Amino acid sequence: MIDLEVSIYPEYVALFGLRLPESAVIATAVVLLLVLGLVALNLFYIRRRFTAKPKGLQNLLELMVESLYNFAKGHVGDCAEFAAPFALTFMCYVFFTTFIEIFGLPPATEDLNCTIALGLCSFIMVNFTALKFRGLRGRLKNLASPSAVVFPIKVLTDCIAPFSMGIRLFANVLVGGVIMQLVYAVLPILLPAAVSSYFNVLHVGIQTFVFGLLFLTYTGEAVE
Amino acid sequence: MSAIGFIAIAAGIAALACGLAAIGMGLATSRAAEAIARQPEAAGKINSSLMFGLIMMETTAIYALLVSILLIFVLGAAA
């Protein structure tokens, strides 16, 4: 009989107490500094050396931005120029705040407050994009199509979407953490390294992609 | 039976939804593979819509897993 000592961090168990855990705040601050550093590096080092024929880091940046713009164009059509930067911002935030788990810091996305806030931000952006490009009339018409009967249902669906986005991201990261702890409890050598390469690297990438995809899909639904 | 036993059974039943979601994912993926075999040039579009469907299915499975984990770690710790 193995005596499992699995504990979700005590701060996070108080889900409905809405307490802001210190560790998540620290993690977010670290990530923000990191991202700001990368942006500064981009602005003052890489951008200065841009050439017509891309090489090195410029290649990577151009590939990232261009593929995201193409991806956004497929989902939101003419609003891609406006929506794609926001999608990339969300994706950067989700990726870095989750990825720092590999350095032993608690991921900020393992906190329900953080992910719900992310979901609400995306909700605001979706509606802002729709109002900017289609106007209030267009937005209401979109909600009332194909007939006025579905209006309340569509409004309800739109209002639940940010919470769904937040809770699914939170649950995914939490479950990854719980499984990692179980693995550590069962066999603390060798096996965690193998499992961690999925849960701390690949899984984070998938969640990041999913968050961006959901944001673009909801935007596409709002502006179609 | 003790309260902890009931909680364990409840957690097991809640986690059943994960298996059901897996069935749904299998059906969707098999259809997508058939569609790609029939029309390889539409692979990109099929893949992206498959991805969206898979995300929706995975969401329900994750909710079930979350319920089960909360049952074990929150209710189980209280019992």
Instruction: Please give the Cα distance from B78 to A44 (Å, whole number).
Output: 55
The pair of structure tokens assigned to A96 is 């870095």
- Express each pLDDT in A100-147 by its tens digit: 888 777 788 887 878 888 999 999 999 999 999 988 998 888 888 888
Question: B66 and A171 in contact by Cβ < 8 A?
Answer: yes
Q: Is A5 left (phi over 0), alpha (psi -120 to 50) or beta?
A: beta
- Express each pLDDT in A160-190 by its tens digit: 999 999 989 988 888 888 888 888 888 888 8
pLDDT of residue A14: 45
**Whether residue A55 has pLDDT greater than 90:** no
The per-residue pLDDT of chain A, averaged, comes to: 82
Contacts of A164 in chain B (CB under 8 A): 59
Q: Which of A210, A215, A221 to mutate to test the interface with B (most CBs of B within 10 A)?
A: A210
More confident residue, A68 or A23: A68
Contacts of B66 in chain A (CB under 8 A): 167, 171, 174-175
Q: Name the band, by pLDDT with cuts 50, 70 and 90, for residue A6.
A: very low
**Whether residue B7 has pLDDT greater than 60:** yes
Q: What percent of chain A has pLDDT over 90?
A: 19
Contacts of B14 in chain A (CB under 8 A): none
Q: How far is CA B48 from CA A138, A209, A218, B29, in A?
A: 27, 12, 14, 12
DSSP assignment of A115-141: HHHHHHHHHHHHHHHHHHHHHHHHHHH
pLDDT of residue A32: 80
Number of neighbours of residue A107 by Cβ within 10 angstroms: 26
Q: Name the band, by pLDDT with cuts 50, 70 and 90, for residue A5.
A: very low
pLDDT of residue A18: 46
pLDDT of residue A79: 85
Mean pLDDT of B59-73: 87
Reported in sequence order, the residue ranges of chain A that DSSP labels E, i.e. its strands, are none
Residue of B51, B55, B62 with shortest CB distance to A171: B62
Number of neighbours of residue B5 by Cβ within 10 angstroms: 10
Q: How far is CA A72 from CA A90, A115, A119, A134, in A?
A: 14, 22, 19, 18
Q: Is A190 left (phi over 0), alpha (psi -120 to 50) or beta?
A: left
Q: Tell me, what's the ipTM? A: 0.78
pLDDT of residue A96: 87
The per-residue pLDDT of chain B, averaged, comes to: 89
